[in-house]
Amino acid sequence: MPSASAGLTIVKNATCTFCGCVCDDIELHADGEKIVETKAACSLGQAWFKNHTAAHDYPDALIDGQPATVDEAIEVAADYLHRADMPLVYGLSNITCEAQRESVHLAELIGGVIDSHTSL
C-alpha cells in the first residue's frame, strides 16, 4: 500500500523484475513523474527503477534502425524467423508472464531454442 511523505509516494515491499532474482523487499520513493529513490535494490535494480518513466520516448518498433509500426515489425520478424535455420527466442526480461508464455509457444512453433538474458 503506497503512502505519501513530503510530496513523495512511498511504496514498500516493491518487487524488482530486472534480473530474475525478483527481490521483493524494495522501497521506492516517487515524485509523481519518476522514481527518485530506491532502498534495498542493488545497483542494477536502482538503475532499472530510476531510468524507467511513463514517458513514450521511443518509437513502438524499429526495422533496421528506422521507426516502424508494430505490424510492420511483426511482418519482418516473422520473415526472419521463417528463414532461420535455428531461430533463437532470447531476452524475456522486463516482460509479463503472459508474454513469456507466448514466447515459449513461439519457440515451439518455429522449432527454435529459447534462452533468457540470465545466461549471461
Q: Cα-flanking dihedrals φ and ψ of residue 28, to 5°?
A: -115, 140
Q: What is the DSSP string of 16-48?
A: --SSSS----EEEEE-SSSEEEEES--HHHHHH
Task: Decide: is 92 part of the binding site for ligand SF4 (CB under 6 A).
Answer: no
Which residues 44-73 are close enough to bind ligand SF4 by CB under 6 A? 44-45
Residues 6+ apart with CB under 8 A from 63: 72, 73, 76
Task: Decide: is 42 part of the binding site for ligand SF4 (CB under 6 A).
Answer: yes
| Size of site (CB under 6 A) for ligand SF4 | 10
Task: Decide: is 28 part of the binding site for ligand SF4 (CB under 6 A).
Answer: no
Comparison of 37 and 72: residue with beta carbon closer to ligand SF4: 37
User: What residues make contact with ligand SF4 under the rule CB under 6 A?
Assistant: 16, 18-19, 21-23, 41-42, 44-45
